Structure formats: structure tokens, C-alpha cells
Chain A
Amino acid sequence: MNEDILIIKAKSGERLAQQDLYNAYARDWFSICLRYQKYKSDAEDALQNALVKIFSQLRKFDINLGSFGAWSAKIVVNENLQLIKKRRLNYELADVEEKPANNQEQSVYEGLSSEVLTLMIQELPTGYRSVFNLYVVDGYSHKEISEILHINLGTSKSQLSKAKLMLRKKVESIMLNSKVS
């Protein structure tokens, strides 16, 4: 069924259309939640909150003004950030040793799936994870991130840098393990 028709039917409260819309976007939405939350159970909570918002505000969505995917993804990101904020997780820095990037790593990355990368991101401290997701995957600028998370511009940059450093470390460890095995 055409997505526009599906949205119109879902707007009118048709349960089947809402279910179809959910089936079509569930993976995208849940992937976002998994990236932002440390635990799967928290990601499920965030998804449920986001779904409540998406379906209760669907009537406000205008098909002519943008894609449903982008509109709903923004809600999912916001709900994840809300949940993090609500659960009082702060954005303090962890001590990570600075290390220059290694150009050889690119080839190592190629073998990693989205699932593995998501697990790596999940292991980041909350602040790093939020900044990394917002900047790298969801395309927000540092200025926007500093406004969304109520942190300094410098903190946002620093957290991104350290998040990347930690991810590189994790990649190295995977490389090492794969060599050993």
C-alpha cells in the first residue's frame, strides 16, 4: 500500500494501518533506540514512548512538508534523549587516553555489521553515546547538540573525540581477538 494512503488511514485511527506503519518502520525506530540506550529494556521503553508520541501526534504530520521517516525518526531521537534525561544520566567525562587515529583501521571496520557497531556504541558512557549518535549518525552540528543536551560546545566536541577514541580501542580489541582466534 502506498505510504501516503497508509498515513492518512493511520491518522484516522485505523488500527490496521497503524500496525502496517509500525511494521514498516519498527526496525529503523528500534535501531535508533538501541543506539541511544545502554540496555535493550531501556530501548524498548524509549520506543514505546516514541510510538505513543508518533501515533498521538500523527494528525499534525503533513505529508506535503516532509517524509514520514524523517519526522518520526526525529521524535524517536527526542524521546530517547528525554528518557536519558529523565533517568538522570549525566554527561560527565570519563578518563580516556588520547590517541591519534590510525588510517589502517578503515579496512578493519569493513567487516563489522550494524549490529556489532550498535553494541559498541551502547557500551559508550551515556554522554559520549548521545553526542556520537547525534553528530555522526543523526547529523546534528555541535552547536545544535550543545543546545539539545544543554552542554558546552567544547564539551560536545571533546565528548565526540573521546567517543571515537573509545570506539577505535574497541575495534583494536576485536582485531586482536580475531587474530588470536
Chain B
Amino acid sequence: MSALQQPRIRIPRSARPGEAIEIRTLIEHPMESGIRGRSEGAVPRDMLNRLVVRLNGETVFAADLGNGTSANPYHVFHVRMERTGEFEFLWTDERGRSARATARVTVG
């Protein structure tokens, strides 16, 4: 099984206590629903179905991805930073493969 692409994360390296930081995530993936090209030879289904974002091990945001999510899934959300922490971003596909990224945000 081939590996998933390495995701791209845009996140600040530091924040003030209580600051809301913006996090942008992107992972290259075709998100083939299996519906496309049904008439002339179907393109097999190949979908990421979940993104989980954890901060110091606690889930802060997650997404269940359906057929209506675009190729190269892109998500932007905002986290309030109370203390220095380690983010983990984990995408998984329907076949159980995963792609992971981490980022540290220093608060002070």
C-alpha cells in the first residue's frame, strides 16, 4: 500500500496566553468517491474519511469527511491557546492508512 501524502499545516510558532490562533491544514488527496466515470469504467473509491486534531493528547477538533468534501481536503479553524502545547494532526482513509503531522506552539 502506498503512503498518503505529507500534510501541510500553517500554524503560528508562538502565541500570547489566551490568544486565538488560526490553523490551516491541507493534504493532497484525490478524494475519489467511486461515483465518477461510472459509465466508462469507474474510478475506484479512494477517500480520506477522518481528520483528528489533538492538543497535548486531547481532541480539540475532528472532521468526518463525506463525498462532498473536495479533493485535497482543506480546513481552517481557531484554537485558544492557554499554555504551550503540541498539536497532532492525523488523517485516516477508508483503508486504514494514515498521515500525521505535529506542531509545537509556545505560549508566553
| A-B complex is real | no
Task: Give A contacts to B, CB under 8 Å.
Answer: none
